[in-house]
Amino acid sequence: RKEVEQDPGPFNVPEGATVAFNCTYSNSASQSFFWYRQDCRKEPKLLMSVYSSGNEDGRFTAQLNRASQYISLLIRDSKLSDSATYLCVVNPSLGNAGKSTFGDGTTLTVKP
Amino acid sequence: NAGVTQTPKFQVLKTGQSMTLQCAQDMNHNSMYWYRQDPGMGLRLIYYSASEGTTDKGEVPNGYNVSRLNKREFSLRLESAAPSQTSVYFCASNRDRGETQYFGPGTRLLVL
């Protein structure tokens, strides 16, 4: 079983739709979590951190469920420009320096 | 403030040739990383450096060596390139383990 698993998709949604992605992780001691966005042939860029209490940034909402060991990303009112691959990142407990684990990504295509 | 820079952007090698990929960051980050990303796949950690003077193997270190030249620079060397090393190579850095990673634009390497 992979340490971090994402549904690869692709998710094809119309503009204005709400879409949600989940990411499960296996290490219950994981400390910090992020969502990154990667456009085709470009470097990954931070979308948002994921806090225990959940956090929102405009149309994007990230949540963490430690009991079930998953994080989620909700995108409301999808725009064409949201088309990208979304990567979840899980960071280890202290003492395991540097070994962040990236999911393989979920591809989203937003269509007119 | 350039962030993370990588050179070269593109490179074509013949099997058996050697080359060094350069990475530099100007954010005074302690930790630096080298990843590879194969088409349609996620990021895989090759090597990382948690702080100046230290380096450690990641998930796929075979065929590579690294040097943390100073706090700013972290190079990746292929001693004898193989077609299986055709990939996009990303360098990243962060202030400390568990924090947001910032990525360079990548080096696209083709080994014939």
Chain B nearest CA to A101, separation (Å): 8
Residues of A with CB under 8 A from a CB of B: 31-32, 34, 41-46, 49, 87, 89, 91-92, 94, 96-100, 102-105
* pLDDT value at residue A39: 95
Computed over every residue of chain B, the mean pLDDT equals: 94
DSSP states of B39-101: TT--EEEEEEESSTT--EE-S--TTEEEEE-SSSBEEEEESS--GGG-EEEEEEEESSTTSPP
- The reported pLDDT for the residue numbered A33 is 92
pLDDT at A8: 84
What pLDDT score was predicted for residue B27?
95
- At B57, list the tokens: 């193997």
Helix (H, G, I), strand (E, B) or coil at A49: strand
CA B39 to chain centroid, in Å, comes to: 17
Q: Give me the residues of chain A with pLDDT under 50, please.
A: none
Decide if pLDDT at B16 tops 90.
Answer: yes
3-state secondary structure of B29: coil
* pLDDT given at position A7: 87
- On the question of pLDDT at B28 being above 70, the answer is yes
pLDDT at B73 over 60: yes
Percentage, residues of chain B above pLDDT 70: 100
If one counts every other C-beta atom within 10 angstroms of the C-beta of residue A88, the result is 29
Q: Which residue of A has its CA nearest to B87?
A: A41
Task: Find chain A residues with C-beta within 8 A of B48's C-beta.
Answer: 97-99
| Whole-number pLDDT of residue B100 | 87
